[in-house]
Structure formats: C-alpha cells, structure tokens
Amino acid sequence: MYSTVISGGIRGIYSYLVQVEVDTAQGLPGFEMVGYLGSEVKEAKERVRVALKNAGFAMPAGRITVNISPADVPKEGTAYDLPVAVAVLASMEVVPREALNRLLMIGELGLNGELRPVRGVLPIVRKAKEAGFRSCIVPKENESEGAVVEGILVYGLSHLREVTIFLQQHKTPPYKPAAADFEKIFAGQQEKQFDFEEVQGQEGVRRAAEIAAAGFHHLLMIGPPGSGKTMIAKRIPSILPPMSMEESLEVSTVYSVAGLLKEGQSLVCRRPFLNPHHTISEHALAGGGRIPRPGVLSLAHRGVLFLDELTEFKRSTLEILRQPMEDKVVQIARSVGSVVYPASCLIVGAMNIATTKLIQCGITEKAENEAFQGIGKVRYWILVSVAVKWNQSCLALCTSF
C-alpha cells in the first residue's frame, strides 16, 4: 500500500515542502529510507518503529520503503519523524488518506510516542500558508510559534495517539487550533530594559549615538576603560524604533531556524543586542558548519552588534564584516549548496585609547604609562590627541559605511 504525507524542510532561513512517501509490500521484513538523508533522518526508522509499538500499533510484517522527496536536496534534523510514522499508519489504513489532504505535519518522536519540539516551525508554517494548506500539526511546545502565522490552522499535539485520533476524526477535529494573542506578545516590549536616559554626562557621545540610531549608521567609540562605552552601547536599542510585525517575523525566523526561541515564545519583539567576545571565530560570527547555521551577524539582524575591544579581534574576523556592512546579507557557500542569511544590523565598535596597535600605527602615543593610572587629565589629553589627528571633536566617530 502506498501513502504520502507533506512535511517541510529548511534551507538557510527559507522553507521548502517535502513529500514523505511510504510503500508497504510483501517480502522479507525491512525498513529502508532513501532521499539524500543525514544521520539524524536515517535514525528516524528506529524511533518510528519503537514509537509505533509503544503507541499500540503493530508494524506491518513486510518490507517498508520510505522516500523523502525531493531526493536531490540534503535532509537534516528530526522533524521528519512524525510524517514518516503517519505515512506508515496511512499505508496500514489506520488513518484515512483523505484526512491528509492540505495538511502539513512536522515533529520529532520520542520512543514512548510523545511529540518533541523541533527547529524552524515558523518558516515552515509560513511556507505551508503560501502553498495553500489548510492546517498544520506541530509539537505542543511549538504551537505558539506557528500560531503567529495568520490564515492557517495550527494544532499543537503532544502524542502520536493524539495525532491518530485527530486524523480519524478530521471532519470534526477534537482539538482546538492554537491562537496567538498579539497584544500580549508585543506587551513584552514594555518590560524594563536598559534605558538610554540613564546615561549621565558624555554629551558628545550621547549625541553621536542618537544620530547613529536615527539613521541606523555604524558607530565607533574610543576611550579609556570605565568611560561608559559599554554602558552606552547596551542602551542604544532603547532609542531605536519598535520593530514592526514584518521585522519581528524576520528576526523570529532566524531565531527559529537557529533553535533559539524559548519555550512558549512566539516572536522576538525586542531588537536584539549581541556582544560577542573578541576571540570569536569567523564561522561563529558569520555562520557556517557543514550544514550552515546562522551566526552572530544574523542573530543581530534588525538590532545592535557590539564589538567591544575592537582592536583585539583577529583581522580575518573583522574582514568578514565588509560584505554584510555593504549588502546587509551573509552568503555562505558549502559543498551541499549556498545559503543567504539576513544581516542588517547596527554595528557599534568600542576600543581603548593608547592600545598597542594604535601606538604602532602612529595614531596615538603612550604618555609615560600615565594613561592607565586614572581617568583624569591623562584621559582627556589622549582624547584631544586622537581628536586632532582624526579631525574629530567628540569621543565617538559616527559614519555610514
């Protein structure tokens, strides 16, 4: 018997539809899976076999062949467990095939049959809506994430038995679809966070930060330790305009693909602020891996990326910033294909004056070890020296790259 179930996969931050085909036939017992599968997907046959047994369903005594199409696209992750199990049940005629029309499902199966959360639910549900699907079945923990997509019914279920009951009673579903309360979701923006009005003094750098935030320009701050560079950078998101619904969906999609949405979190409503250590690798900053994942640049999309101790970053790491600062995207090429991640973020750099690299470049000089003895006269002397050589009159340099 042949059956098919529609699921979804992730490529970059974009989703594509996947057709899970199952055929059961007479012959020596076996369970084969094909379709350019990664190790996690190949292991699904054992999870599905045991989950069906513990859910009270006997596997057919014959040869089971599973094909996950398109077969020329690499498949990764555990989201195909539920579609494979349901397709097997449909081939056994446990669930009616007409119940699978215009229905998409994703989810990982535990050995006891429970549904466990997966990455990338938001872009997959958005793709299902664009393709004209009527409803989706997702793990219970992911229902709030999928419910923000309007125009499609999203059902969050907890167990394989619940999925079976849902399909057997598909004409009058026994479970209610998830609903998103957008007022409650966006009310989180009003919670207390670092506020720019807490910055006292430093009128010059305050003005530069306001200009940078107004035009979404990049910002470089130079000053001795303790002068307030990090404090100001952390408060820049508070003077950026609130994210629109479309911006929130963009950022939430990146976090969904990266698996960083918290349990029960539907959308990322605040502008991100990321502060990576200066020892960060090139792959962690831009994204990468055998199957590329979003990096810090993409996780800071529509928000602020703060690079403290800028002169301590490796040159190869800083060179990566060139293309994202110009094109607002990160392009990653691998043997399995290339992906594009968004990277439109406000980059704020901070560095100490009289660092070894600045002294070597002749931009400033070390005043007989007095620069690190306090933040009084020597600090201002070094700042004046830097200001004269760079023809700037304030602590911060504000420019649009």
Contact (CB, 8 A) for 198 and 235: yes
The predicted structure's pLDDT at residue 394: 40
CATH topology of domain 2-168: Ribosomal Protein S5; domain 2 (3.30.230)
Note whether 2-168 and 187-399 share their fold: no
DSSP label of 8: E
Cα–Cα distance measured from residue 373 to residue 378, given in angstroms and rounded to the nearest whole number: 8
Cα–Cα distance measured from residue 357 to residue 10, given in angstroms and rounded to the nearest whole number: 43
Contact (CB, 8 A) for 7 and 20: yes
The structural domains of the chain, with segments of one domain joined by +, span 2-168, 187-399
The predicted structure's pLDDT at residue 363: 56
The predicted structure's pLDDT at residue 381: 26
Strand partners, 67: 21, 34
Element (H, E) at 22: strand 14-25
The predicted structure's pLDDT at residue 63: 93
Contact (CB, 8 A) for 257 and 231: no
Superfamily holding 187-399 = P-loop containing nucleotide triphosphate hydrolases (3.40.50.300)
Cα–Cα distance measured from residue 95 to residue 89, given in angstroms and rounded to the nearest whole number: 6
The predicted structure's pLDDT at residue 369: 44
193-197, Cβ contacts within 8 angstroms, sequence gap of 24 or more: 193/237, 193/238, 193/270, 194/234, 194/235, 194/237, 194/238, 195/235, 195/238, 196/232, 196/235, 196/236, 196/238, 196/239
DSSP label of 114: B
Residue 161, both tokens = 């038995």
Contact (CB, 8 A) for 343 and 330: yes
Query: Which letter, b or e, does each residue of 334-353 get, where b requires 16 or more Cβ atoms within 10 Å of its Cβ?
Result: eeeeebbbbbbbbbbbbbbb
- Rounded to 5 degrees, φ, ψ at 81 are -60, -50
The predicted structure's pLDDT at residue 355: 57
Contact (CB, 8 A) for 153 and 134: yes
Per-residue pLDDT of the chain (401 residues; tens, 9 = 90+): 899 999 999 988 899 999 999 999 988 889 999 999 999 999 999 999 999 999 999 888 889 999 999 998 989 999 999 999 999 999 999 999 999 999 999 999 999 999 999 999 999 999 999 999 999 999 999 999 999 999 999 999 999 999 999 999 998 989 999 998 888 887 765 566 788 888 887 788 888 888 889 889 888 888 878 888 888 999 999 999 999 999 999 999 999 999 998 887 889 989 999 999 999 999 999 998 777 889 999 999 999 999 998 888 999 999 999 889 889 999 988 777 788 999 999 999 888 875 555 556 665 555 444 444 433 322 222 232 333 333 343 444 444 33
